[in-house]
Amino acid sequence: MTPEIYQEVVARLARSPQTVAQLHAPIRELGSDWSLAQLRLFLACLEGIEVSGEGLVSLGVKSPRELLVDAIVEVVKSGGGKPIPAARVVQLLPDRFVTTAVQVKALAKACDRLEVFGPGLLRLK
């Protein structure tokens, strides 16, 4: 499964839940040689994707980590394109998030939408 094919699967699931078979046909057209069983197992192992017993696949509820990363991205976006220190991000996060500047930097480094540079500054990629 290439990143491009994965993105196509997620885009299809964002529009509406689908069966594994409905997802299998387009990924085959995009060049995947995975079997239906391999695709089902892959989807079942992914965080944030739900596969029902009947084979219906949907985007599940985001994990607390994903919610925190989304909130960090929103805080950085609200900075108008200027770099923002991780400690300031912690202060600007909604109250439901309890975190530290160290964790914010670690999550930002692992995020494909953010970059960390200098003395703990964050900006959008």
The pairing of beta strand 49-51 with beta strand 56-59: antiparallel
Q: What is the pTM of this model?
A: 0.59
- The residues pairing with 18 across neighbouring beta strands, listed in sequence order, are 57
The pairing of beta strand 114-117 with beta strand 121-124: antiparallel
Characterize 93-113 residue by residue with b for buried, 16 or more Cβ atoms within 10 angstroms of its Cβ, and e for exposed: beeeeebeeebbbebbeebee
**Under DSSP, is residue 42 helix (H, G, I), strand (E, B) or coil?**
helix
Q: From CA 86, how far away is CA 53, in angstroms rounded?
A: 42
Residues 45-85: tens digit of each pLDDT? 887 788 888 888 888 777 788 889 999 999 999 988 899 99
Q: 61 or 14: whose pLDDT is higher?
A: 14
